[in-house]
Amino acid sequence: MENRIPLLGEKMPQLTVKTTHGTINLPDDYKGKWVVLFSHPADFTPVCTTEFVAFAKRNDEFEKLNAKLIGLSIDQVFSHIKWVQWIEKELGVEIPFPVIADDMGQVAAALGMVHPGKGTNTVRAVFVIDPEGKVRLMIYYPQEIGRQVDEVLRALKALQTSDANGVACPENWPNNELIGDKVILPPASTVEDAEKRMNEEEGYDWWFRFKSL
């Protein structure tokens, strides 16, 4: 298996993994669904705990988007189980998604998740995988900085909107400072198309046209 970060648009490597919910085959077991695979440096650490709570509290929102959450770190399954139990007992938050026990580090190595200079700790990586098993989005954070889970959710919604409508989404969509919740039309491919667009939809110029959905 080649150990490198997958490129956007590439198929997710075929992986059989141990999790807190049993054995999972990625991405085949999730065919037809979106997957948000996110790694954390280690169990029983403060920043990771805050992230797991945030993901868990938004699990229903991901489910409504036909998306499944999967966590991962280079820890053994019993460590994951004890940590998940601790979160539920001490913080009152149930972790509804599986957590991959990558105790040999094979999955993290295959996906380029191992943090250089941090021993066996994984970076805070997020992989958004589409229903065809292709990697569509990646976000990497260092060990010291927690992620914003709402941004992962926003990015997933934007990807789905782009796919369904053949459009692009602006910065911070659907709350962009220039065009609000409107989406951006693909660029014109001919002079005729560029001139035609000036009389259709909204926009600042022929190359910057947008519309409401």
The pLDDT of residue 1 is: 45
Active site residue 169: no
Q: What order of strands is seen across the sheet that includes strand 124-129?
A: 22-26, 15-19, 99-101, 67-73, 34-39, 124-129, 135-141
Positive or negative: CA dihedral 121, 44, 75, 39? negative
Strand 135-141 relative to strand 124-129, pairing: antiparallel
Q: How many CB atoms lie within 10 A of CB 139?
A: 15
Question: Which residues are CB-neighbours of 179 under 8 A, at least 6 positions away?
Answer: 170, 202, 210
All domains in the chain, ordered by first residue: 15-147 (3.40.30.10), 166-213 (3.30.1020.10)
pLDDT tens, N- to C-terminus, the chain (213 residues): 455 678 899 999 898 999 999 999 999 999 999 999 998 888 999 999 999 999 999 999 999 999 999 999 888 999 999 999 999 999 999 999 999 998 877 888 888 777 666 666 777 899 999 999 999 999 988 888 999 999 999 999 999 999 999 999 999 999 999 999 999 999 888 999 888 888 888 999 999 999 999
> Which tokens hold the place of 5?
């970060």
C-alpha–C-alpha distance, residues 209 and 25, integer Å: 42
pLDDT at 2: 52
Q: Which of 15, 36, 48, 108 is catalytic?
A: 48
Quote the longest CA-to-CA distance of the chain.
Answer: 64
Tokens of 176: 């962009």
CA distance 155 to 84: 26
